[in-house]
Amino acid sequence: MDEELPTQVEQICASFTHALNNTSEDLLEGLYLRGSLAWGEFFDSSDVDFTAVLTRRPGRHDLEALEAAHTQIWFEFPDHDFDGHHVLLEDLRGAPSQCPDVPCAHAGTFRPAARQDVNPVAWAELAERGIRVAGRDPRVLGIDHDRQRLWEFTRDNLASYWGRTARELKLGWMVAGRNDDSVAWCVLGAGRLHHLLATGRMTSKSGAGRYVANSLDARWRDLGLEALRIRERPDEPSRYRSQARRGKDVRDFVAWCVSDGARIAQESPQWKDRHG
């Protein structure tokens, strides 16, 4: 293991590898952590995001072993979802779009063929910041981490997913303002993508909150600090006296991120040359 992890994360990883090795002892080649942990962040609400490298495409027995191992984790550690995908090394050495559907686990569900986090963000996090639990150092695996591909994926995600979210918030802003999780999801999610488009660098969810609070227009400062509070200190009182105002700020911020992200993309056709 590359570094010391929170005790519960170590227990989750140890329990999973033990359960899998008991039934398919030669299947697991490497286990790596991504997501919040790769940025040194882990809170009560954090998931444990993983990439597992397998020695072969899993057959029926292997899929049963994987599902059983994940089921055991969900029963033993219900407070933290163990989410990710099971790929081959050859998958990581190619573009995520070329990776076939693979066994995935997400929010308590195991699927034998899916695409959970099979995208340039996961490949980039693994290549740049992946934490080794078992196997070789991720930096020597030859992961196909293409920065232009990452930027284009981010651009498209902001325009499509967050564009739809912005349209939904035109009517649903009041509901969003009442829900802490919705506020944090919108502010940190859209802010994280805007950060990459604007700076050329990935950041964490908390990093996105600091970016929104400290680096963007002052009108978003309270919203950025509020999202950080929800993520890191949920027991503290809200910075907002009015949930309606909070909902309107979320609506306006997501719409601004989508619009400004489109402006950045239009002005940066040679992004790789500028930020590579």
- The pLDDT-based confidence of 269 (bands split at 50, 70, 90) is low
pLDDT at 268: 78
Residue 265's identity, in one-letter code, is A
Q: Return the pLDDT at 270.
A: 53
* pLDDT single digits (tens) 40-71: 999 887 899 999 999 999 999 999 999 999 99
Task: Please answer whether residues 153 and 220 qualify as being in contact, where contact means their C-beta atoms are separated by less than 8 angstroms.
Answer: no
Q: Report strand pairing: 109-114 vs 28-33.
A: unpaired
pTM score, whole prediction: 0.93
* C-alpha dist (Å) from residue 19 to 8, 14, 59, 117, 243: 16, 8, 17, 23, 45
| Number of neighbouring beta carbons within 10 Å of residue 85 | 24
pLDDT band at 2 (very low <50, low <70, confident <90, very high): low
By mean pLDDT, which of 102-111, 192-201, 262-271 is the weakest? 262-271
What is the amino acid identity at position 55? T
Report the share of the chain in percent with pLDDT over 90.
Answer: 92
| DSSP H helical ranges for the chain | 7-23, 60-76, 89-92, 120-129, 147-178, 180-199, 205-214, 221-232, 243-267, 271-275
* Residue 162 and residue 257 in contact, taking contact as beta carbons nearer than 8 Å: yes
CA distance 176 to 184: 10
**DSSP string spanning 163-198?**
HHHHHHHHHHHHHHHH-HHHHHHHHHHHHHHHHHHH
The answer to whether residues 93 and 144 touch, using CB atoms and an 8 Å cutoff, is yes
What digits encode the pLDDT tens for the residues 191-225? Answer: 999 999 999 999 999 999 999 999 999 999 999 99
Residue 87, pLDDT above cutoff 80: yes
